[in-house]
Amino acid sequence: MCGIVGYAGPGTGRRTEQDVDLGPGPSQRPLEVVIEGLRRLEYRGYDSAGVALVGPDTEDVAFAKKAGKLVNLRTELADRSLPAATAAVGHTRWATHGGPTDGNAHPHLADAGRLAVIHNGIIENYSELRRTLAAEGATFRSETDTEVAAHLLAREYRAAGDLTAAMVATAGHLRGTFTLLAVHADAPDTVVGARHDSPLVVGLGEGENFLGSDVAAFVAQTKEAMELGQDQVVTITPTSVSVVDFEGRPAEGKRFTVDWDAAAAEKGGFESFMDKEIHDQPQAVADTLRGRTDADGRIVLDDLRIDEAVLRSVDKIIVIACGTAAYAGHVAKYAIEHWCRIPVEVELAHEFRYRDPIVDAQTLVVAISQSGETMDTLMAVRHAREQGAKVLAVVNTNGSTIPRESDAVLYTHAGPEIAVASTKAFLAQITAAYVLGLYLAQLRGNKFPDEIATTLDELRDMARKVQTVIERGEYVRATARSMKDADKVLFLGRHVGYPVAMEGALKLKELAYIHAEGFAAGELKHGPIALIDDGQPVFVVVPSPRGRDQLHSKVVSNIQEIRARGARTLVIAEDGDDDVRPYADEIFWIPKAPTLLQPLLAVVPLQIFAMALATAKGLDVDQPRNLAKSVTVE
């Protein structure tokens, strides 16, 4: 959720095209870098923002913070003259403890205004710590758990006289999830950070270094980055990066290069990031498939640290995920069971470890997460590994926590997804799930090599077909604009169309704030048909008429049933499916595709529809209310 940026480097300098213009005069590079980093992290969701700066001539921390969007903070900064700085931290807050007010916004100060702290996560033992610190004389000015960390760090700094040592000591007192960044006026060129169950990445520059919740915070400045491990403290200055663990022992991070640039995180001429990311989907599918075969045509994975003999012995797969990723997991279930003949369960990650699941060494757990930082999924991964299961992560973010703590990784290569509501990450996750299913079928001998090669060729061709669906999008948009006053929309699907229906309903809830539900079409007569009245819009995802004729005819019958009761039927059907024409008020045509691959096409009109309807209602499709891109607390 919260966005965090840290910077240590030159106090002034020539403006570059990446810098944010905060007014006339010489560039205040630390402030400008931090504000630009926060802007690039807006997709994570937030309700206030703030910055803190220290420099060689500052006796106290200089800071500014405002409730609301980043523009409010920039307006505040335009009206003030902050001193030149050589270190800075910035924060966008998603309210947990205390409402979204100026006072609760980060940073929080301590040590008579000489220390500033920003924080992502939740400190579970903050109440007892607050009582102890208050008894010692600390004065609290906010309702947040973060201010407790600030006063605790100040106490440890007074004892140790060193900000890194103080952070190590502070981390030992905290329970919960946290990333902390701190600056102190006594160390004007230093930022110290700590991470426990919450993301933090280092950016490596020349004469300057960076910290961020993810690489988007600093990718405009450097592509060289370093992963931090769990329970580590990092100290950056303009010329150095040092890492220790929570015991104070030296540690090392893992370097990597960011393979996308800052332009990839910009709108590129589209009206919204979501619109851009919908148009990115053919490339996301193609890139996720790229390099998946060796010279002999056999499928290979990114980072496999599981013995092949172990994978051959797997007798059950459990997919764990949340939200959109969980619906990708449902599509994976159909494909993997069909290709590999292994039973697959799909679990919501936040329910998984609390129901005492049956997991052992013959279980493969597949964790799906766009950010790789979804806290519910991370905790489920840890529980699965404690029970002896092997874990394979499907993620989009290099250097994130879930792949580091898993036994294997399958990266989706979708590039940065800025809009909160997922689109291209969903298609990339489904594509990666197909790759995994085919890999397991290859490994276990469930399919012949020529069958796998044929399916891979069909999968590679899906990028072109997704592009075709996008090019037909104007009819979907026009239909959505005509329905901007709808207050309830239903979605029906069968087989792989069922998770597509659920995802379509979720997109409409996320973006347009109206009631939407996805149902298995076979459940219609078991209750949901009672919701049908005159004019009720109902989307129906029609399965391919080839290969599963029985399912196709049953769904066509469903369309007839609901239309007879007054529904407005909006049908997603394959080109040439004449059986649906007499019963559809609107048809959104998609190219023909193998049944199991159809979700890659069928979901795209639903994404476009939700975006267009929300836009027609005047809503922000990139940052829907109450939502965050990455849910990093349970």
Active site residues: 2, 629
Exposure string for 375-413, b = 16+ CB within 10 A, e = fewer: bbbbbbbbbbbebebbbbbbbbbbbbbbbbbbbbbbbbb
Rg (CA), the chain: 26
Instruction: Show the tokens assigned to 355.
Output: 């129901």
Q: 425 with 396: CB under 8 angstroms? A: yes
Taking phi first (over 0 means left), then psi (-120 to 50 degrees means alpha), and beta for anything else, what does residue 596 get? Answer: alpha
Percentages (nearest 5) of helix, strand, coil residues in the chain = 40, 25, 35
User: Rounded to the nearest 10 degrees, what angle do helices 424-444 and 449-460 cross at?
Assistant: 170
Q: Is 7 helix (H, G, I), strand (E, B) or coil?
A: strand
How far apart, in whole angstroms, are the C-alpha atoms of residue 282 and residue 600? 10
Helices (H) and strands (E) in the chain, counts: 19, 26
How far apart, in whole angstroms, are the C-alpha atoms of residue 537 and residue 584? 11
For residue 332, give the H/E element and its range: helix 324-340
Exposure string for 333-358, b = 16+ CB within 10 A, e = fewer: bbbbeebbebebbbbebbebbeeebe
How far apart, in whole angstroms, are the C-alpha atoms of residue 121 and residue 197? 8
Q: Is 145 helix (H, G, I), strand (E, B) or coil?
A: coil
Beta bridge partners of 281: none
Q: Please report how many Cα atoms fall inside a 13 Å half-sphere around the Cα of residue 194, on the Cβ side.
A: 32
Q: 91 with 107: CB under 8 angstroms? A: yes
Instruction: Write the secondary structure of 528-549 as one string of H (helix), E (strand) and C (coil).
Output: HHHHCCCCCEEEEECCCCCCCH
Q: Could you tell me which residues come within 8 angstroms of residue 139 by beta carbon, excluding any fewer than 6 positions away?
A: none
Instruction: Show the tokens assigned to 228.
Output: 């931090």
Q: 94 with 45: CB under 8 angstroms? A: yes
